[in-house]
Amino acid sequence: MKGTKILKYLSPYIWPLILMAVFIYFQASATLALPDFMAKIINQGILGKNTKVILQNGLIMILIAIGGGLATVGVNYLSSRIGAGFAKNLRDAVFTKVENFSLVEFNKFSTASLITRTTNDVQQIQMVLTMLFRLAIMAPLIGVLATLKAYQLAPSMTWIMGAAVVALIAIITLLFKMVIPKFAWLQKLIDKLNLVTREILTGLRVIKAFNKEKHEEEKFNKVNEDLTRLNLFVNRLLMLLQPAMMLIMNFMMIAIVWLGAHQIELGNLQVGNMLAFMQYSIQAVSAFLMISVIFIAIPRASVSVDRIEEVLETDVQIKDPIKPVKAPRRGGKVEFKNVTFAYPGAAEPVLHNISFVALPSQTTAFIGSTGSGKSTILNLIPRFYDVTEGQVLVDDVDVRDMKQKDLRARIGYVSQKAMLFSGTVKENIAYGNPNATEEEIFRAAATAQALEFIKELDQKFDSSIAQAGTNFSGGQRQRLAIARALAKNPELYLFDDSFSALDFKTDTALRKALKRETQGKTVIIVTQRIATIMDADKIIVIDSGKIVGQGTHKELLHTCEVYKEIAASQLSSEELVRDLV
């Protein structure tokens, strides 16, 4: 049933909900009791000239009003507290679910959409839920009881209330049909606005470099105007409710006074009863209006419920095995056995029958043209994706038989785009190993050739890093990302084109330091630069998702045409002749 997966996050608030229901009962009782005492004051006190009745009933009305006010405060406090707590639990659930997504699931949702669902959609549900807490019990209770009490006071005039309610429902139904279809589109436009904003802010340097500020501003303004236009349309329609309700209520009161005056003249109705009937009529119509507002708010929240449930109910394809295998530690040996892989929904596999072994104390490198499948091979090792056919083994155990946490604990991964987090340099280097000592952090930074620029920072290792490391250059970010992998001290290092932003001098120094640091461990490097992998123990050449050559640099120059072409495009003729000898 729709919404049940979300409503379970209300379970910690059962007792506050019960207490709130009690407060609502007292609030409704107080609201419904006041017109009766008002009628007594007018009929018996004022018209009967009985001061005692006025004082007694007036005092009771004051006490009821105070009690009703306190009950209202209690209802508002509890509903806000429960709504905020529910929203917190729901955000936690969505965020935890997203954290467990594999790259397959991430491809289904855009980052902007996931942000909107975690923030705006949860907020929409919280607002409607808080409204429901306050009105869902109160409005029907007051509507029914106020109608009954009004009928007891003046049965012949009850039809006026009915006519007012019918007129109100007709207006609300018309608005309902016009507004509801717009809610889903409204959330999609918020997604789009987030997407455009995020894209512009992320690419601000490129935008400035190409003088495209005006173009991006126009693109943002278009989405912003579309959202504003739709918001105005929806809100203008909903704003018609207030004047429509006031118009209907005013006509209803005129009718009550007109007919009531005739009933009083005939002696069939007392003045106090007519005023009490009027109060009950206003309460009943207002209650029906509140119910209608709930029914208008619910569809917008239901759109948000659907969007959040879509995230929560997404089946994560990469799961831990029921009976995980604990692989022995053998230095991070990696073996691919006849691996074929196709991205979900792709017509053709991106990898075809890949088989190789990467041994400890050796550097295994992958090289090939852009789009040949090098990074995809690397992504299969930590199970960012699962193979379509074949096996990926780490220390002779299929990665699908290991817990993801255990598998990734063995791996030091450096991605193509060096991602840093807001915090300090020290915190970023120790990200994979929070218990790393000062000496381990220093050593990792030294091996990654990062000490040179860290020492120039005002606060050295305690210097701040902006979100995504935007206050550092590309080469500095890469070196800090490499230091982060080294500080983890894993058995297996995966470098996905992680030296591309380094100059040749730093690259050479870094590879020499890595050679010493990674003794007894497995190192796998993906790159497009021949110079980075010339000294690798094994170079594997990938072309169109297939292995077309394996061997050392010199061996491949003699045996692999694809490698020879890559080398010829990057090395001088003198270097080629020297290496061929």
pLDDT tens sequence across 463-514: 888 877 777 887 888 888 888 888 888 888 888 877 777 777 877 787 888 8
Structure-block tokens of residue 41? 């004051």
Residue 292 has pLDDT above 80, yes or no: no
Distance of alpha carbon 365 from alpha carbon 345, whole angstroms: 29
Distance of alpha carbon 578 from alpha carbon 581, whole angstroms: 6
- Give one DSSP letter per residue of 57-83, joined into a string: HHHHHHHHHHHHHHHHHHHHHHHHHHH
pLDDT of amino acid 412: 86
Q: What's the Cα-to-Cα distance from 225 to each of 81, 216, 524, rounded to whole Å?
A: 35, 14, 50
pLDDT of amino acid 410: 86
What angle (nearest 5°) sits at the alpha carbon of residue 565, between those of residues 563 and 569? 115
Residue 516 has pLDDT above 60, yes or no: yes
Question: For the domain bounded by 4-312, which CATH number is listed?
Answer: 1.20.1560.10
Average pLDDT, rounded, for the chain:
80
Is residue 330 within 8 Å of 522, Cβ to Cβ? no
Which residue in the block uniquely carries the two structure tokens 């019990």?
Answer: 137
Instruction: Indicate left, alpha or beta for 395 from its phi (over 0: left) and psi (-120 to 50: alpha).
Output: left
Q: Whose CA is closest to 537, among 379, 295, 360?
A: 360
Residue 2 has pLDDT above 60, yes or no: no
Structure-block tokens of residue 237? 């329609």
At a CB cut-off of 8 Å and minimum separation 6, what does 147 contact?
Answer: 158, 161, 280, 284
Average pLDDT on 366-383 reads 85
Query: In which residue ranges of the chain is CATH 3.40.50.300 found?
Result: 327-410+490-551, 418-489
pLDDT band at 21 (very low <50, low <70, confident <90, very high): confident
pLDDT of amino acid 26: 84
Note the pLDDT tens digit of each residue in 60-79.
888 888 888 898 888 888 88
pLDDT of amino acid 580: 61
HSE on the CB side for 178, CA within 13 Å? 14
pLDDT above 70 covers what percent of the chain?
94
Neighbours of 484 (CB within 10 A): 29
- Provide the β-strand partners of residue 391: 337
Q: What is the DSSP-derived secondary structure letter of residue 528?
A: S
Structure-block tokens of residue 221? 């303004």
Which residue in the block uniquely carries the two structure tokens 């090289």?
Answer: 367
In 450-481, which positions are buried (b, 16+ CB within 10 angstroms) versus exposed (e)?
A: bbebbeeeeeebeeebeeebeebeebbbbbbb
Q: What is the DSSP-derived secondary structure letter of residue 121?
A: I
pLDDT band at 577 (very low <50, low <70, confident <90, very high): low
Query: 418-489, what's its fold?
Result: Rossmann fold (3.40.50)
pTM: 0.70
> Which is the CATH superfamily of the domain at 327-410+490-551?
P-loop containing nucleotide triphosphate hydrolases (3.40.50.300)
Label the pairing between strands 522-527 and 492-496: parallel
Is residue 499 within 8 Å of 478, Cβ to Cβ? yes
Greatest mean pLDDT among 270-274, 355-359, 503-507 lies in 355-359
Question: Which has more confidence, 574 or 567?
Answer: 567
pLDDT above 90 covers what percent of the chain?
0
In a 10 Å sphere around its CB, with 0-12 CB exposed, 13-18 middle and 19+ buried, how is residue 220 labelled?
middle
pLDDT band at 288 (very low <50, low <70, confident <90, very high): confident
Residue 309 has pLDDT above 80, yes or no: yes
**CA torsion 300→306→309→315, rounded to 10°?**
-160
Structure-block tokens of residue 334? 């990696």
Least confident of 12-26, 185-199, 469-483, 515-529: 185-199
pLDDT band at 147 (very low <50, low <70, confident <90, very high): confident
In 491-502, which positions are buried (b, 16+ CB within 10 angstroms) versus exposed (e)?
A: bbbbbbbbbbbb
As a three-state string, the secondary structure of 78-102 is HHHHHHHHHHHHHHHHHHHHHHCCC
pLDDT of amino acid 559: 82
Least confident of 76-85, 186-195, 332-341, 439-448: 186-195
Average pLDDT on 391-399 reads 87
Note the pLDDT tens digit of each residue in 242-266.
777 778 878 888 887 888 788 777 7
Least confident of 199-208, 410-419, 424-433, 479-488: 199-208
Furthest CA-CA distance within the chain = 124
Where do the DSSP E strands lie in 226-306?
A: none
Structure-block tokens of residue 439? 């000496």
- Give one DSSP letter per residue of 180-198, joined into a string: HHHHHHHHHHHHHHHHHHH
Residue 135 has pLDDT above 70, yes or no: yes
Least confident of 9-13, 113-117, 215-219, 300-304: 300-304
Average pLDDT on 399-428 reads 84
In a 10 Å sphere around its CB, with 0-12 CB exposed, 13-18 middle and 19+ buried, how is residue 266 labelled?
exposed
At a CB cut-off of 8 Å and minimum separation 6, what does 323 contact?
Answer: none
Residue 428 has pLDDT above 70, yes or no: yes
Residue 547 has pLDDT above 80, yes or no: yes
- Specify the amino acid at residue 578: R
Q: Directed axis angle between helix 271-312 and helix 138-153, to 10°? A: 160
Average pLDDT on 181-196 reads 76
Query: In which residue ranges of the chain is CATH 1.20.1560.10 found?
Result: 4-312
Is residue 340 within 8 Å of 389, Cβ to Cβ? yes
Distance of alpha carbon 359 from alpha carbon 536, whole angstroms: 12
